[in-house]
Chains A and B, each alone.
Chain A
């Protein structure tokens, strides 16, 4: 895609820990309304890249633009407010807050914010995830893993992100639950989740089913990019289990 169309434009970004490159000059783009998969085995660099994009760790080289403007990297709360929202792996709901309070925090805290009606957004979230409505006043730490993942995603969406970074939503969840979540993502047109998504996953099957395009990382390097249906089993097997 043309980089000028891209909502999220990552160019030659590297991430280093000490003198080891966890991510080595990776470029990718995410356009409006797209779901783009970022695949790779563990240790391939997916989470490191996400953490660099969202500002939690420093970028060792390269450039990142959101909506054509450079991101205030290294100040994570400003990156989030600029519209790039990272839903971290492992869910990390704020257990001491209720479901609805988690959503409010995601929206920036107050019920009335200039620009949009938070209550309406909360209703939209409950429309998409009815189970969260059932538990709206309960402490979020008591929910099941799947429900917490839904909450984490919903919380990210409350901020009206331009691009959502979804980091391994399937990790640690039972297959049925994973299926449920991906089903909701697949049918996201018209819901609150109808935003550009960069989805990182180890398990490629479901991710590719809902994606338009995909990138594959192996040991910090980009080894494949293309349309989702171009990602064959051979490509992933080679990247994950075979030679680099």
Chain B
């Protein structure tokens, strides 16, 4: 079936552009996850040559050829990501560019690949149905992926990998999978292109091709599937229709890239939305206080929390951590009960944040142990995404939400671990288990937002909210995972007094959900009103843990803070 012939003299261009669209999508797969890697041309070459060699030496058909190409791509992607696991940023980008060159050069020297000469005689069996199916499946698959919990996890990784890890997302695993997916798409593009043109040579897979694909994604936008589509149209499709332009098209592409990344970095596909956002001024959204009637508790979550052994939600023993020569934590012992609010106070530099960082896995302690719900977490120390599975949640000193998404979407990511029923296949195909789980999560989110007085803001973009509301959203997100322990690091930093009071009220309410809370704050008066006990740190050591009145009035504490006697 060659129905694309309807485009007459442009029919090759259309088919070629569709194939390049798949390549652009493979670039998008990595960039939209914030992974600065561009190995796609190398994957495309591997897929192309796999198909070419296979079909010039055997009698396999198109489907098998593409299947093999795809498999080669997936394998190459997965292996490459493991090899380059320790690299990030610029170094990762450079390594992947070099990978592309290595593939090209290798193909140029392999006898079986033609030894530098074009390999011809490849069966031109690419029919338009297959082409459209691949393109269609890729687009639909990626769109559905974006809507699933995996897509939400990817957005979280892009925005803030550390925060994503604390929602239970294994960044390393996602990297391997995304590299594999990118490899799959690029290799398929390669396989299809050789079955379109009938020949292949190493020189096709050069830096220029990468630049074109990258340009398409950048211009259109690297965070939405529509981006590469729009960008592909501009880069691959448009110039041919504007003949006089054609000579300067590369020049104009380059210029557009600079302009877009400078002025509209989200890409042209999102330009309308970006303009609207800039025109709209920040809404001072009023945040209702939390005196909505307590709604039904979500039974499963509470039941799980109640099923913990014993009454101690969190136990820290002998934890020590030093950086260089400085002892940030010098043997700290702490126990927090299942419905207790423990405040941690102390002067600047006393180790409060380091303590939380050790508990939540940002750092591995040098010595000591941590137990959550009575179970020692052992080798999960230093791995936030694994600690998240034991029932630990936290917020950081800075707000770590996905700023350009709604409150609803941000809180949903908190249920990431809870949505195991949404496997990858049910999610992409929209099967009943996925739909049921989705509905359940949405209901839970709505309920929670209602309880916290955030219901009106569910669809509001987080970036438009005042600090106080954003912090509440963060706490809501943390609560979605039904944690046993919630760590709050200076939740009211930078807030007005009214906002502060609301957050402290929320902390008191959280306790009723059978969650142990550990909160660091500087407003000692508010802490005294809110916390059951206060732990005072200084120079990495615990000075005392006691009731708020006794703690505040103790000599040791006043000295530590005010340094009356130095």
Contact = CB atoms under 8 A, between A and B. Distances in A.
Instruction: Indicate, yes or no, whether A interacts with B.
Output: yes
A207 to B, nearest CB: 8
Nearest to A240: B561
Contact of B467 (A20, A43, A182, A204): A20
A78 to B, nearest CB: 27
Contact of B563 (A19, A20, A204): A204
B312 to A, nearest CB: 29
Interface in A8-50: 17-20, 22, 41-43
Contacts of B561: 41, 202-203, 240-241
B525 interface: yes
Interface stretch (A79-87, A100-108, A168-176, A187-195): A168-176
Contacts of A178: 566
Given A18-B467, A22-B494, A205 B562 contact: yes
Given A240-B562, A241-B561, A18 B493 contact: no
Contacts of B347: 42, 202-203
A219 interface: yes
A137 interface: no
Contacts of A243: 525
Contacts of B176: none
Chain A interface bracket (under 10, 10 to 19, 20 to 34, 35 or more): 35 or more
Contacts, number: 76
Interface in A185-242: 202-207, 219, 233, 236-237, 240-242
A205 B522 contact: no
A145 interface: yes
Interface string B105-136: 00000000000000000000000000000000
Interface in B515-541: 522-525, 539
B558 interface: yes
A20 B349 CA distance: 24
A179 interface: yes
B325 interface: yes
B89 interface: no
B303 interface: no
B58 interface: no
A242 B348 contact: no
Nearest to A175: B566
Interface in A120-170: 144-145, 168, 170
A204 B562 contact: yes
Nearest to B561: A240
B282 to A, nearest CB: 8
Contacts of B494: 17-18, 20, 22
Given A20-B467, A171-B349, A42 B522 contact: yes
B242 interface: no
A43 B525 CA distance: 14
A169 B441 CA distance: 50
A174 B539 contact: yes
Contacts of B102: none
Nearest to A201: B563
Nearest to A41: B522
A170 B560 CA distance: 12
A203 B562 CA distance: 5
A243 B524 CA distance: 9
B375 to A, nearest CB: 34
Closest 5 CB pairs of A and B: A203-B563, A172-B349, A205-B563, A42-B522, A241-B524
Interface of A: 17-20, 22, 41-43, 89, 144-145, 168, 170-172, 174-175, 178-179, 182, 202-207, 219, 233, 236-237, 240-244
22 contacts: A17-B494, A18-B494, A20-B494, A42-B347, A42-B348, A43-B490, A43-B493, A43-B522, A43-B523, A144-B325, A170-B563, A171-B348, A175-B566, A182-B566, A202-B347, A202-B348, A203-B347, A203-B561, A205-B566, A233-B564, A241-B525, A244-B497
Given A43-B522, A236-B562, 20 more contacts: A19-B282, A19-B466, A20-B496, A42-B347, A42-B522, A43-B523, A89-B348, A144-B325, A145-B325, A174-B539, A179-B566, A203-B561, A205-B566, A233-B558, A237-B558, A240-B561, A241-B524, A241-B525, A242-B525, A243-B525
